[in-house]
Amino acid sequence: MRSLHLINREDRDRVRRFILLNEARLAREEEALALMSARLERGCLMEAGEFPDNVVTLHSQVRMRDADSGRTYVTTVSLPRDGEVGSGASLLRAYAKIALLGACVGDDIVWRSAGRLRRARIEQILFQPESSTRRETPRLRGTPSVVQLASRMELRLE
């Protein structure tokens, strides 16, 4: 029995490239997970029925304008399906969407995608699940809610 592995140079180089690509992808995924966790820990919790219409939540449909191209697009804030969780691409897409949680209309969002910083402004929340079930509660005029105060926090996710 031989203890020496015979590997041709071309195969070795291909496998090395494969490893390097996956190491970089895993590092980006790890960074995205850490940023998502930090965002959740910094957030101020409120009951769904108390959310104002201008705050992004899961399953909100949001119209945004890309700061670089000026292009307008609509995205729905969602998590990957259970079967997609193992896919690195779906995790990084989820991170970009989760960066929107708690943001308000008019906020600028910054996130990293494909190795570069992306910037967009929230122009409109087209749909927010909580607004259809929200109970109106009287609030003193001019007194900001916890969400309004929290939304003034820096939304830079680098």
Give the pLDDT of residue 133: 63
pTM for the whole structure? 0.63
Q: Which amino acid is at 38?
A: A
Write out pLDDT tens, residues 98-134: 788 888 999 998 877 777 888 999 999 999 998 866 5
Q: What is the mean pLDDT of the chain?
A: 75
Is 3 within a domain?
no
pLDDT bucket at 37, cuts 50 / 70 / 90 = confident
Statement: residue 151 has pLDDT above 80:
no
The CATH code of the domain that includes 49 is: 3.10.50.30
Torsion of CA 21, 27, 33, 38, to 10 degrees: -150
| Residue 49 falls inside a structural domain | yes
Is 77 part of a structural domain of the chain?
yes
Structural element, H or E, at residue 26: helix 9-42
Enclosing domain of residue 58: 42-151
